[in-house]
């Protein structure tokens, strides 16, 4: 960063912790009647209005989950909310409130936090959720963002990972592998830049997958679409770690196996051409890439007609007895390949 710009930035110490919290949160307005008391008291008060309360939390740590070398702070704020709302959507619940905890070192000026909170506010607007609290603390190392999302839902609508039965159809929303391929492009261009800061990054034509990585969306829209089709999934999960990992989670919780058809996996054309360019197997990107934040769910086979030609959904396989295991049926050869997943490689 240029020295000139550095001098124009405001150190956090100038506002102090309380001033900072006020400064960052005063523009947030409230959209949900269930929000009774929010920022400014010792704790928030939420009125569940007779519904079940669904809660989830996720932490994003600098250097582990994101690299500020190529992730804009605004996008980081937006995405940190989205990944949490995705978990609420995966329970078939409506997200209503979030809490945001930040740990920052003094190398971050107030303006950096403003950017993060701007991204957070955009997500709150788009998804109609209220920021009702959080925590602010200093960090010795880097930036850590922890978001807790709260959702409310009638008991009978909640969908868990448990509940898939043999012969149920396995369905996924949207397309897969794009976020991972977007990350590969960002990392490639970032290393080019580090080697020679005068080089302009080549990002043209990759818009779709870059957006999938930097500005993913939570599929909070799916709940209504399914309800309009008169479908209640028998089990559901969001695709955060990669399809293979999520299929195995549904398998474990529901005590069934799954057969997934490689030729049914939804892949976007930009994802396909980028995989080809980078010499990556697109199926592996879909299975193990992660961060797509689509929803993976099972439905009763009797719901097949309701969903078969719907562009929002791809039927990618079906549940089998647990003893039959979890397999990918390879395109062409019909060979059965065991599904495996290491999970998120943070450790």
Asked whether position 300 contacts ligand ADP by CB under 6 A, the answer is no
CB-nearer residue toward ligand ADP: 54 or 100: 100
CB neighbour list of residue 85: distance below 8 Å, 6 or more residues apart: 95, 98, 123, 127, 129, 149, 218, 220
**Ligand-binding site membership of 8 (annotated):** no
Which residues, other chains included, contact 140 with Cβ-Cβ below 8 Å and sequence gap of 6+?
105
Q: How far is the CB of 146 from ligand ADP (least distance, A)?
A: 10
CB of 120 vs Mg ion, minimal distance in Å: 17
Decide if residue 19 touches ligand ADP (CB under 6 A).
no
Q: Both tokens of residue 50?
A: 């007779």
The structure tokens 């369905």 sit at 171
The reply on whether position 135 binds Mg ion by CB under 5 A is: yes
Q: Which of 70, 245, 254 is nearest to 162 (CA)?
A: 254
135 is in an annotated binding site: yes
* Smallest separation, CB 103 to Mg ion (Å): 12
Q: Which does 149 bind (CB under 5 to 8 A by kind): ligand ADP, Mg ion, none?
A: none
Q: Are 112 and 12 in contact (CB under 8 A)?
A: no
Helix (H) or strand (E) holding 95: strand 94-104
Q: State the residue number with the nearest CB to ligand ADP.
A: 133
Helix axes 207-214, 178-195, angle to 10 degrees: 100
The first and second tokens of residue 278, run together, are 């980078």
Pairing relation of β-strands 327-329 and 256-261?
Answer: parallel
Q: Among ligand ADP, Mg ion, none, what does residue 102 contact (CB within 5–8 Å per kind)? A: ligand ADP
Residues in region 102-131 near ligand ADP by CB under 6 A: 102, 131
Does residue 276 touch ligand ADP according to CB under 6 A? Answer: no
Decide: is 335 part of the binding site for ligand ADP (CB under 6 A).
Answer: no
Specify the DSSP class assigned to residue 9: S
**Cβ at position 17, least distance to ligand ADP in Å:** 7
For the chain, the C-alpha Rg in angstroms (whole number) is 21
Task: Using CB atoms within 10 Å of the CB of residue 2, give its burial: 0 to 12 exposed, 13 to 18 middle, 19+ buried.
Answer: exposed
Q: Which is nearer to ligand ADP, 44 or 319 (CB)?
A: 44
Listed ranges 34-42, 168-176, 257-265, 312-320: which one lies at the site for ligand ADP (CB under 6 A):
34-42
Piece of 45-53, 84-92, 118-126, 130-138 that binds Mg ion (CB under 5 A): 130-138
- Tell whether residue 100 is a contact of ligand ADP (CB under 6 A): yes
Which chain residues interact with Mg ion by CB under 5 A? Answer: 135
Binding residues for ATP: 117, 134-135, 161, 240
């Amino acid at each position: 960063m240029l020295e000139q710009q550095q001098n124009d930035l405001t150190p956090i110490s100038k506002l102090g912790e309380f001033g900072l919290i006020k400064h960052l949160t005063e523009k947030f307005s409230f959209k949900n009647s269930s929000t009774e008391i929010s920022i400014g008291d010792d704790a928030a008060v939420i009125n569940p209005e007779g519904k079940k309360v669904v809660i989830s939390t996720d932490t994003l740590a600098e250097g582990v989950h994101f690299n500020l070398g190529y992730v804009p702070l605004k996008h980081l704020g937006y995405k940190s909310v989205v990944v949490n709302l995705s978990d609420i959507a995966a329970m078939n619940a409506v997200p209503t409130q979030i809490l945001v905890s930040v740990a920052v070192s003094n190398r971050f000026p107030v303006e950096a936090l403003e950017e993060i909170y701007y991204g957070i506010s955009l997500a709150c607007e788009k998804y109609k959720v209220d920021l009702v609290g959080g925590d602010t603390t200093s960090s010795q190392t880097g930036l850590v963002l922890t978001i807790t999302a709260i959702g409310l839902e009638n008991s009978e609508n909640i969908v868990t990972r448990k509940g898939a039965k043999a012969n149920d159809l396995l369905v996924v929303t949207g397309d897969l592998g794009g976020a991972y391929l977007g990350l590969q492009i960002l990392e490639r261009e970032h290393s080019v830049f580090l080697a020679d800061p005068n080089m302009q990054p080549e990002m043209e034509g990759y818009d779709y997958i870059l957006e999938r990585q930097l500005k993913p969306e939570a599929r909070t829209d799916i709940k209504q679409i399914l309800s309009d089709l008169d479908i209640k999934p028998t089990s559901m999960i969001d695709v955060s770690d990669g399809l293979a990992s999520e299929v195995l989670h549904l398998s474990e919780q529901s005590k069934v196996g799954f057969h997934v058809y490689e030729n049914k996996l939804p892949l976007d054309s930009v994802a396909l051409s980028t995989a080809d360019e980078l010499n990556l197997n697109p199926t592996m990107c879909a299975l193990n890439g992660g961060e797509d934040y689509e929803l993976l769910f099972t439905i009763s086979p009797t719901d097949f007609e309701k969903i078969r030609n719907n562009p929002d959904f791809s039927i990618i396989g079906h549940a089998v007895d647990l003893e039959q295991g979890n397999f990918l049926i390879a395109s062409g050869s019909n060979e059965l390949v065991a599904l495996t997943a290491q999970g998120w490689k943070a450790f």
